[in-house]
Chains A and B, each alone.
Chain A
């Protein structure tokens, strides 16, 4: 997860030095999108802000939109970026917040009405996911070095759908649900990480991050429904450099790669390995030099690719011919979803065929520590199977360490 980058001053090029983003010495270019309704449901316990009905209920319950305030807090950290050029979505979707901190933002091409900022009690700007996507499209076209957005998981999904991994993105945390790995730890951290990246936008400072979303209706009914949505590129987190005990992205990367390699090494020859969705599990395949399907299930045996993006039938067919098999899974952050409605190809039939003891789970220790409550969740759609999968499970966090996690339906 990105966070404050405390060496931004050290990394910033000296005045007069050409900006390294391109050879032509052009100025660092930042794209900004604010989802002005993000986070409106959180303070009143609505577990999300998706949909106009929820937003109205939130406002009735006394919610105050946080997105604008938090965006301004992040933008204040950009004051020192030399020659910064800001391209912002119109009105309350970015230009207003940029103006509030004295950044002159270039407006992007916009066909609809300009969403206006509103005083408390006057209702929310009537923006939608389509507005977020339209703005993202324009910013990609304008060639921004980084797309900074304010919102929650829903906004992250919208940005992802347009941007993919073409432009690095970073989230100012303002939403209620933030299970994606694209958010900085605070608005200020987002601002600092942005400044650091714009000062030194070298590709090796980017990491993959999962974009997740959960079905808010399911959560309000206390069911888990975290879905992995996609992958984006975010600036590395070096937030913990001053915490002195490690925890840097570089170390976490190395630990997860080693954890995946160890998991694969421990599998007996001839065993079928099903590799579940997500960037973490995908490291196991990349470690073998094989491609991985971000949102799908791949299969490998003795280091050879034996199936890609398999559906339930494909998985069952492979399992029919496999004397022994294991399933490698990552963990979706926040709720700790291990098996949920997001990976339906891993159906109850597939899981029963795999049998008890076939799960191999890999996750970063920080991700496990951040789970609240501190347990993994399974929701296969089959209550009896969920009960059988419950109990405790070792989760590998590095080559040499596992963490024993409780598993609950």
Chain B
């Protein structure tokens, strides 16, 4: 093993889950005894019908025991704090200073139901950030209510529905066209909104052919929902023509800017003709990620769709910021109040720190980093890239295949993921389903990562591939340096066995 590789070993706290810890009667905080007259009031607050007859089965621990337990869990968790070149997710450092900014009382201590006259500062930031996205995209208005990328795609599907309904064409326009390399949230949200999905497979140049689009477009077309560049880093140079064809048929065009990082400040949805677009503030704009909710999918659109946007929007009249509640044409809310405003503030802070020049430089750095990585990765035995005949450079991502490694050694990409984490780096993202390239990996090196970080990560992959050829058993049985070895995924797809809560676990284990 090369001496320069990280010699990682995770902590291994062999302790039960928190629900199995503690002693009856132990408490973190003793609440003071309630006075009799107050107790009477409290009893009146809760009708008897909603009161528990037995107390909840919560673990009983001291405050320090709780803190120690969760500290241990965090020490045993590798994820997302190592070198993380997790493609399609654009992993960025979330500057700590932004935590201080959003902890300020002007944001942390206010409530969206306050009178707007008392919220002028925060409204000014939302409004100013909307101006920045208007400049980056050419769109007319933005809303920050969607709680993530899929939520923004769903917003578009609902706006598509409302738009065609307003024109009396919804009964006929039942189809949304997408591509097989667009993020699965586009087809999923279109279907959730009641549309049929028409998917275009890739053509020989790594993007769908114009002919397949023409075959898919008809008077049933409600919208095109598409990402570009796609998750393989391939940019579809015919996108303007695509938009023209869909518009000619009366459909709307939505640009999922999931992969905006490599083209920030270089491509505007408006110039390509799109009616709407979406940015993820929690990836491209350095906001923190979080599963299914605490993020922001910023949705922007052209004037003809503005009436349908979720409300409220932030407006400026005579130097005073106010809330535009819209009218009955709005699709209504997709989330509470204005969405996750702290994430908007963090994104605003990030953009202001970089400036226009800095954003352009970040985009260029991410493309350079990706192409540097490609040069080194393709030197590793058994590593190839998708569509190797294409001569143009990929943007911020490239999809690779370890098919040859698998054919030669029987080691697959899951084994390689499991072994890479033994070196303290995060495993690569593979690919969305279906796998168009066998044994795929999709690393993405954004502007966050130094050349040394990228080199270390590549060195780890090279070492694991070497092991696959020379010592496959070590790779197959990995991870070895973690608190938990291979996860046994049995039951994940079995309703009889899966358990997402402790209560379900106890119940199903008892019946098994």
Contacts and interface: CB of A to CB of B under 8 A. Distances in A.
A11 B487 CA distance: 13
Interface stretch (B63-71, B96-104, B129-137, B427-435): B427-435
Given A238-B493, A404-B201, A186 B435 contact: no
A365 B178 CA distance: 14
Interface in A363-401: 365-366, 368-369, 373-374, 391-392, 394, 397, 400-401
Given A369-B436, A404-B212, A241 B197 contact: no
B491 A7 contact: yes
B202 A391 contact: no
B201 A374 contact: yes
Given A186-B412, A238-B493, A402 B488 contact: no
Interface in B178-214: 180, 184, 187, 191, 195-204, 209, 211-212
Contact of A401 (B187, B209, B212): B187
Given A245-B432, A248-B493, A402 B212 contact: no
B414 interface: yes
Contacts of A243: 414, 430, 433, 435
Interface residues of B, number: 39
Contacts of B195: 400
B356 interface: no
B216 interface: yes
Interface string A247-259: 1101100000000
A271 B414 CA distance: 48
A73 B408 CA distance: 11
Nearest to B492: A241
A248 B198 CA distance: 22
Contact of B201 (A188, A366, A405): A405
A112 B410 CA distance: 34
B379 to A, nearest CB: 24
A248 B492 CA distance: 10
A401 B434 contact: no
User: Chain B's interface: helix, strand, loop or mixed, by majority?
Assistant: loop
A404 B200 CA distance: 5
B433 A247 contact: yes
Given A7-B488, A392-B212, A250 B410 contact: no
Contacts of B432: 245
Contacts of A6: 414, 486, 488-490
B490 A369 contact: no
Q: Which of B200, B211, B432, B434 has the most CB of A within 10 A?
A: B434
Interface in A96-125: none
A113 to B, nearest CB: 32
Contacts of B490: 6-7, 10-11, 241
Nearest to B432: A245
B434 A247 contact: yes
B493 A369 contact: no
Contacts of A402: 196-199
Nearest to B208: A404
Nearest to B495: A250
Contact of B414 (A242, A246, A369, A405): A242
B184 A245 contact: yes
A241 B198 CA distance: 26
Given A188-B410, A401-B197, A392 B215 contact: yes
A401 B199 contact: yes
Interface string B426-458: 000010111110000000000000000000000
A27 interface: no
Contacts of A374: 201-203
The 5 A-B pairs of least Cβ separation, nearest first, read: A7-B490, A392-B215, A188-B410, A10-B490, A369-B434
Interface of A: 4, 6-7, 9-11, 73, 185-189, 238, 240-243, 245-248, 250-251, 365-366, 368-369, 373-374, 391-392, 394, 397, 400-406
Interface of B: 180, 184, 187, 191, 195-204, 209, 211-212, 215-216, 406-407, 410, 412, 414, 430, 432-436, 476, 486-493
17 contacts: A6-B490, A7-B491, A10-B490, A238-B493, A242-B487, A247-B434, A365-B434, A368-B434, A369-B180, A369-B201, A374-B202, A392-B211, A392-B212, A392-B216, A401-B198, A403-B200, A404-B199
Given A394-B216, A401-B191, 18 more contacts: A6-B488, A7-B490, A240-B433, A242-B487, A250-B493, A251-B493, A365-B433, A366-B433, A369-B436, A373-B204, A374-B201, A392-B211, A392-B212, A400-B196, A402-B196, A405-B201, A406-B211, A406-B212
